[in-house]
Structure 1
Amino acid sequence: MSTRRKPLSNSQFISTPSTTIKTTPATRAGAPFLPTRLEAQLLAIYPLTLLLGSVFSVLSPASRAAPYSADLQSHDPAFAPSYFAQKKNVFNVYFVKKGWFWTTVAFFAFVAMWPGFGRGVSTKRVRATLRYLVVTTWWVFVTQWFFGPPLIDRGFRFTGGQCELLRDPAAREDMSDTREYITAATCKAVGGVWKGGHDISGHVFLLILGSSLLWFEFLPALTRVEGLRDGRKIVLADGKLASVAVEKDPLTESEEPTTRGVKFSLGVAALMWWMLLMTAAFFHTWFEKFTGLLVAFWGLWVVYFLPRANPQLRAVLGMPGV
């Protein structure tokens, strides 16, 4: 699909190897680090999904009849109301628990296939990879390691939680250092139960962070294919506010490879949404899911919205499609 360019007054056109970036004075008020209407609609899907799943868990007769274990953060396996309510379902074991692997595969498949990144090791590919690395670092800090236990486990301990074995004097006698068992993984390894504090939903965090990373990266590709306008606003180096639109260049882009790259990423993002809905319906309390959402949104905001208001940060991380 080709688009007709209409000359606008007070416009600047900046040419790159694969796109033309049109910078025009911003015509509407608002902070540049806030989402556009399209981005806001996209982000709204996540809280609505959590709400839908939570409502389903309350209204579904099967869910109400199945005992829920706060320690397991799921329904009793013997009375699971659905196949997806079992932690050992194939999608949870091989997709959600390996979610960042699938996010990584989908991301680099898109980066490799989409012609909008240019040829070879282009600046756009480097900046996209840097954005991926920053988001991945946030995932590592929250779920894997943060100069010791990850932030999820630190938050659990801060809110009063601990390994149940630490409450048992007989079990503590055999421990040379009781504070050694401070993460969920090490607690489970010694037969303990992680309980007593607030546990941010790691599944909600991962599924929202991973799928949003993919959406924000290939959204410019979708807007080009559909001929939609991109209304992102940025702060220029001189402090002025401007709008940025990336127009499709039919001479350097073909839709077929773009579609191939986007289709696979869309498939991964769609499956992540489905598993987010299943998580919302069958696992965790509403507050655990809500905090998982907030922590994921915080990392996304730093990478995809803050650079629009900070020219120095934007010079390093860039913006998808620009």
Structure 2
Amino acid sequence: MATRRSTHRVEVPIPSASNGTPGSKRTATKIDSAPLAGSPFLPTALEATLLALYPGTLLLGSLFSLLHPAARDATYQPWTQSYAPDQAPSYFARKSNVFNVYFVKIGWFWTTLVFFMLLFSHPSLGPPLNPVLTRRRLQATLRYLSVTVIWIAVTQWFFGPPIIDRSFRWTGGQCAAVYDEGVEDQLKRAEMGDFRGAATHAACKAIGGQWAGGHDISGHVFLLILGSAMLWLEVLPAVLRNEGLREARRIKTNGGLVRSASIEIDADEQPVSDSQSTELGIGVRGALVVLGLSWWMLLMTAAYFHTWFEKFTGLLVAFGTIYAVYFLPRAVPALRQVVGMPGV
């Protein structure tokens, strides 16, 4: 005999965010009354498919660099992470290409811009073009800040040199001088203290040296995956309102049971109609443009820059960050109370 499973909603009195009165109620996360199969630590099928695009793109670009004659026959210089002068197999193989200079190099600016355009323009997150901080906006901002702090630590500053530069030196790398001997540029260790003492890639480059001898995590791969994955995970459930995705996600309750997560609505928030929730606004369109450019530049990076292992470690660091901010809270109720979940 089949077991019948019922679904119910639970109302919990909380202080209103607008007037502080205890009479306001919030409809808590809709959950099934019976425990569900599946682990809250794992992504849904849709999320797994989306995340699989990243290693797939890196693999595609790397295979292209091996199989395409122009890329295979060009001389790649690992110490400059670029091709020899006049040997770049494509416009996108040049570091000076306009997309690298004005998009990738300042990629977190574009990610931040479209994130806040989305945050304050789409009705699923709060009143459009109204700066009021709803619960969803506040928790989305906390997720953005968490990812940004990790981005800064990895690429910009971590109590001194960033993690990328620290890992390069930890693996035996240091700043070295480049000598032109008339035949080809050869990278040699410099005995001069000015070179050996350079603690960051930027400082080494500023004095005419180059990184040599260590493992260089691909900052481009890290940035492009981190920013675009964050935007995808915010857009899919919170804006496209994919009911199947919300129901498929698993969360662990304070009691240790595994439930499915759906929509949570505050009493002081305006309900969102189906037509409003699925509409494309300026924030969604801006995010889609950045997502498209990010994918293309990730493919170009995979095809023309860095070694396989450097790209792989860039992918791992980006995935680790995304998992900590967007997937781990599903299994840790205390963390979920702070940063929330997109669309809930």
TM over 0.5: yes
How far the C-alpha of 1:167 sits from its partner, in A, is 3.1
How far the C-alpha of 1:223 sits from its partner, in A, is 4.1
How far the C-alpha of 1:241 sits from its partner, in A, is 1.1
Bigger mean CA offset, 102-111 vs 75-84: 75-84
Give the letter for the 1:242 counterpart.
R
Q: Which residue of 1 aligns with 2:69?
A: 61
Give the letter for the 1:158 counterpart.
W
Separation (CA, whole Å) in 2 of partners of 1:312 and 1:293: 28
Query: Is 2:296 the counterpart of 1:274?
Result: yes
Q: Report the secondary structure of 1:293's partner residue.
A: helix
* Residue number among 109, 113, 123 corresponding to 2:121 in the alignment: 113
Task: Give the TM-score taking structure 1 as reference length.
Answer: 0.89
Q: Which residue of 1 aligns with 2:138?
A: 126
Query: Is 2:341 the counterpart of 1:313?
Result: no
Tell me if the contact between 2:6 and 2:33 (Cα under 8 Å) persists in the aligned partners.
Answer: no
Q: Can you list the C-alpha shifts for 1:33-71, whole angstroms capped at 9, x where unaligned? A: 211111000000000000000000001011012111111
Q: Can you list the C-alpha shifts for 1:89-130, whole angstroms capped at 9, x where unaligned? A: 000000000000000001001101111112321111111001
Structure 2 residue ranges without an equivalent (≥5): 13-23, 178-187, 266-270
Matches within 5 A, 1:293-304: 293-304=315-326
Separation (CA, whole Å) in 2 of partners of 1:283 and 1:191: 21
Tell me if the contact between 1:223 and 1:229 (Cα under 8 Å) persists in the aligned partners.
Answer: no
* Residue number among 183, 202, 206 corresponding to 2:223 in the alignment: 206
* Residue number among 144, 150, 158 corresponding to 2:162 in the alignment: 150
Task: Give the TM-score taking structure 2 as reference length.
Answer: 0.83
Separation (CA, whole Å) in 2 of partners of 1:311 and 1:281: 41
Give the letter for the 2:153 counterpart.
F
Query: Is 2:200 the counterpart of 1:188?
Result: no
Separation (CA, whole Å) in 2 of partners of 1:305 and 1:229: 14
How far the C-alpha of 1:259 sits from its partner, in A, is 3.8
How far the C-alpha of 1:84 sits from its partner, in A, is 0.3
Query: Is 2:257 the counterpart of 1:240?
Result: yes
Matches within 5 A, 1:28-107: 28-107=36-115
Separation (CA, whole Å) in 1 of partners of 2:43 and 2:29: 19
How far the C-alpha of 1:267 sits from its partner, in A, is 1.1
Query: Is 2:2 the counterpart of 1:12?
Result: no
Separation (CA, whole Å) in 1 of partners of 2:227 and 2:239: 18
Identity over aligned pairs, percent: 56
Tell me if the contact between 2:79 and 2:212 (Cα under 8 Å) persists in the aligned partners.
Answer: yes
Separation (CA, whole Å) in 2 of partners of 1:211 and 1:19: 31
Alpha-carbon RMSD across the aligned residues, in angstroms, is 2.5
Relative to structure 1, is the Cα distance of residues 14 and 100 closer, same or farther in structure 2, using a 3 angstrom cutoff? farther
**Which has the bigger relative contact order, CA under 8 A and spacing at least 6?**
1
Relative to structure 1, is the Cα distance of residues 223 and 202 closer, same or farther in structure 2, using a 3 angstrom cutoff? same
Separation (CA, whole Å) in 1 of partners of 2:113 and 2:79: 33
Relative to structure 1, is the Cα distance of residues 213 and 38 closer, same or farther in structure 2, using a 3 angstrom cutoff? same
Relative to structure 1, is the Cα distance of residues 255 and 190 closer, same or farther in structure 2, using a 3 angstrom cutoff? same
Relative to structure 1, is the Cα distance of residues 107 and 301 closer, same or farther in structure 2, using a 3 angstrom cutoff? same
The number of residue pairs the alignment matches comes to 310
How far the C-alpha of 1:246 sits from its partner, in A, is 3.0
Give the letter for the 2:174 counterpart.
Q
Matches within 5 A, 1:280-291: 280-291=302-313
Structure 1 residue ranges without an equivalent (≥5): 1-6
Q: Report the secondary structure of 1:163's partner residue.
A: strand
